[in-house]
Structure 1
Amino acid sequence: MRVITGTARGKRLKELPGMDTRPTTDRVKEGLFNIIQFDIPGRRVLDLFAGTGQLGIECLSRGAAWCDFVDHSPAAMKIVRDNVKACNLTDRAAFHQTEFDAFLASAKGPYDLVFLDPPYASDCIKQALERMTAIDIVSRNGIIVCESPVEAQLPELAAPYEKGRDYRYGKIKLTLYRRSV
């Protein structure tokens, strides 16, 4: 697992041992960043189920202004901190070892770009979407990126959020939501 481009291009990232986390595959990550590449520079990012931190790190490497990394697992947060430090990006990052809903309850938005890639077996993605839209922490023209299994049915969200198209990569699906105003 490597950073694709930017200031940390080619940097190898550590992964958690075992099967507790499922890092985004290179193919999916490349597709994702081809879709959002022009929406990254200068933006505030939230990597809500950070795992290894690779999505937030990729954004920082490509010029994002800030990233909040959130994960409840102490082992995951250690890996995220190590990866961010190895990429020399700690000056634009904050680390929050807490449950996603606890973080959202006190989040200091708005965020321009939010990544939701929770464990597939959980219902966390729908809960996070509901909570984020209820507290409205996404900026005008902001984007929420959800990674899920292809068969997952993600909800429509109330205005001003619009569900965009799904992008399929084998058994994985990316769904983008945009906040219009």
Structure 2
Amino acid sequence: MLDVLTGNMLALAGLDRSGMAELLVNMIGGFRADCDRAERRGARVPRDFRIHWDGDFFSLTYAEAWADVIRDSPDVRFWVYTRSFDPAALDVLPVFSGLPNLSVHLSVDPDNLEAVKQARRRHPWVRWAYLAETFADGRADLVALPGKRYPCPENGRRIPLISEKRSACIRCGVCPSGPGDVVFSIVKC
């Protein structure tokens, strides 16, 4: 799998924004074609696409290319987890502001909680994906903060990661639709 990730990174390296967007548009086109094939077989397939199952935004140009693709794909609902919200290093949040078909979840843990609080003050529309030792710890850490929290049902072993019906994220729907923050647990209880 590392070869695939490395190959994908190399394919994007050195491209300008439009070149990156072209590769991403092709990928989303393949996603749409897969959805269409499944629907022709009678399945109901939500057009929910997770950006990155491993990795993060590596440049502002790359984030801008994604924003172009998201903006031009109103039929697809995108979601992403990111640690790229540091104004002193790489902050992609301004690029994604105002995109109604994108849910952005900041990857949060006890070590970066203060930085994430600052990011949310700057961008109140973002959601959190909070990783704690246990779900109870996560709820306790976030109790004083506004908003609704959802424990990840796959992470808590209440639904399987993959089933005949669809993936856990699509079945749950919280991260793709973004109604609140999500809590993940290191301990699988």
**Length-normalised TM-score, structure 2:** 0.32
* Structure with greater proportional helix content: 2
**Length-normalised TM-score, structure 1:** 0.33
* Structure with greater proportional strand content: 1
